[in-house]
Structure formats: C-alpha cells, structure tokens
Structure 1
C-alpha cells in the first residue's frame, strides 16, 4: 500500500508565513501611517531594519504570486500596507469613505511652489505667484499638506514653509526629491536667483532616519 502523501508535499502554500513575517505583516496591517524599517523592526521584534526590509520584499513577492489585492508600498519615508490602485474606485463605493483631496487651482499652484522650493518664505511664494498667499497657506496647513519648517535668518525671521509627510502620502512619493525633475529645477532656480534662497535654511523633509 502506497504511503499517504504528507501535507507538506506539493507546491508551497503562497499564504504560508514564518513567525517573523507574520508579525511584520500584522504591524503593517494595523498601522495607519507609514513606518520606517527601524520602527517596524522594533514593533515586530525583528533583528533590525535590514531584516524588516528583506521580509517586506518577500511579502510583496508573495502578494504578487498569489494575486493579492495588497502591496507594501514605500511612501513618505516608510512602508504602509495598501490596496492596489485598480481597487480604489470600488473600495470608495463600498466603504463610503472620503474621496480624493480636491484643491483649487490657486491652492495647487501654491502647493507646487512650496514643494519645489522648500523651505520657502511666504514672500518668495507671493513673488512667484504675484498674489497674496496667506489664506491659501493656512488652508494647506489645515489639510496637513504644508507645515512651518523653522524660521529664516533674514530680517524679521519670517517663517519657512515645507511639505509634510501627508503630502508625500497623498502624492505617493518617498521623498520630496522624487517630484518630477525636482532636483534639476532646484539647481536651475538657484542659478537664476543666487541670492534668493533663505540663509541657513534646512531642507528637512520631515522623514525619520531609516537605519
């Protein structure tokens, strides 16, 4: 009589997880904002951020092979478990949650100036747009897309403005320099306006160290 097949015979189960991977997946499932690999490692009791990154890569391979609706995306300086874009319309109808962020044309223009020239003073934004931007900046800050990023060393020490981690999440960016041609535009801008950049201004993106 032929021996019965073992439960381990046959192709590997794409949903099978080892203990470390399962803990990491649970953390990704529960977190409501991107976490860097150092934090993920601490929360999932892993050795370090390198192990967390390796397990995330394996998780994504598993998701791809099994046709899962999920993917662990790197965004805003960390990782977050997300549904794939092709399900977004259906999920909005099902969940009844908030739709996409809607901004007026002036708000989008102001946000673009901040994103590409950050950290930037209000006077610089208004010089580019040619209109007062105080109210629009306030609205963008209320939506957590723009934040104050310290003060300039210029006379009166005016506030500097920069984008937030929420901005990176909304636009699916890992870092502000992932904006299309961001670095090239900044270099050209510095050459065109050599004395215009605020002195001693930090380009702090608001992201935490990933090590």
Structure 2
C-alpha cells in the first residue's frame, strides 16, 4: 500500500474507532508492518498537530483522535458534562494493585489488602476499568485480572512510563487526596461494598463507583 493511501486508511480507522485502535490491529487490517504504521502515524501527527482542532494521541499502546483542551468550552456547550465519576481509596488501592501486579487473582488482591475486595472488584469490572483475562495455572484455576483499556483513556496513559503514582490514582489518603482527582481532571469515587454503578442524573448528580 502506498504511503498516501495508508495515511488515508489510518485516518479512517482512527475516526471510526472512537476509543482508539492498537498499532497491531492497524497493521493487521492494512497488512503493513508495525514499523510502517508508526512511521505513518508520526507523519500524520505532525500534519494534524499544527493545523487542526484535533490531534492523534497515543493511549494504552494504541492511537486515538482527541480534541485539543483549548476547545473544551465549545465542546461542553454541545455535550454538557452531567456528572463526574469519583473513586474511593479502596477502589484506587485495588486499581493500583492490578496495575502494578497484573495479571493478579482476587485472592492475591485480598492478601495484599488484608480485606475482602470482592465488592470493589465487581464495581471496577462493571465500570470496565479492569477485566478478567485468562486463568492462573494453579489449584482451582482462579481467574486473572488485568487493567482494561478504558483505564488508560481516563488517566491518559500511553505506555508504562506514564503509569500514574499512587497519589494520582487517589491513594494519598482522605485528607491528602479526598477527591481522588485523576490526571485528566475527572473525579472517580466508589463506596466500599457497592457493586453497581449509578448514572449521574441530569441535575448534575455525581455517578459513583
């Protein structure tokens, strides 16, 4: 495939993918080597980053089209933000364990925390921040838990070097980080023991994890 055609194809894939698409997937679709995909995306980024209100962002080992922060006021007039997600210290703690220990089992998380984490894990699963990914080769074959793709979008993580610190995940303690603010300014909170998500209402009620 010629470079010009590959550029157009990648642009189309990024446009329809919404939450982003991995370099590997683009390579599979276009039948081009991943090195060529990286090279072409970098060329696209240079073109887009200087002349457009959107840009190509690297997230979780893939790419997505994102809007520039300076245009947020206009975007919010079109799509008003109706609430925020907030994350409690217990949920942040479980996320941290999964992030740094993955793949990890529920029992391993419980052992590290010293308390039962079943409810918190169920809540994070329902919010697509973590996912089940295979089973451990151990007695009982317990299910393994990994970080899910939406987590990388929420925290703006491109690769391992961008992994947030404990404080950025809301683990600095109630006084130090009461609101649990993420690196993107979205607030995430969870009530311990809650295993379902309530949607924020139109009156601006916060959604809780």
Shorter-chain TM-score tier: 0.5 to 0.7
Structure 2 residue ranges without an equivalent (≥5)? 167-209
Structure 2 distance, partners of 1:175, 1:18, is 28
1:77-104 Cα shifts (integer Å, max 9, x gaps) = 2111111234345523421356554222
The 5-angstrom pairing of residues 166-177 of structure 1 reads: 166-176=150-160
Larger RCO (alpha carbons 8 Å, 6+ apart):
2
Aligned counterpart, 1:40: 26
| RMSD between superposed Cα atoms in Å | 2.9
1:118-154 Cα shifts (integer Å, max 9, x gaps) = 1112222122222211011001001111112222333
What TM-score do the two structures reach when normalised by structure 1?
Answer: 0.64
1:27 and 2:13 correspond: yes
Structure 1 residue ranges without an equivalent (≥5)? 1-16, 183-211
- How many residue pairs match? The answer is 164
Structure 1 distance, partners of 2:71, 2:83, is 13
More deviation in 104-113 or 123-132?
123-132
SS in 1 for 2:55: strand
Against the structure 1 CA distance between its residues 64 and 149, is the aligned structure 2 distance closer, same or farther, given a 3 Å change threshold? closer
Report deviation, 1:180.
4.8
Aligned counterpart, 1:135: 119
Q: Which has the larger radius of gyration?
A: 1
SS in 1 for 2:86: coil
Aligned counterpart, 2:143: 159
Aligned counterpart, 1:59: 44
What TM-score do the two structures reach when normalised by structure 2?
Answer: 0.65
Structure 2 contact 129–151 (Cα < 8 Å) conserved:
yes
* Residue 121 of structure 1, aligned match among 105, 108, 127: 105
Structure 2 distance, partners of 1:84, 1:135, is 37
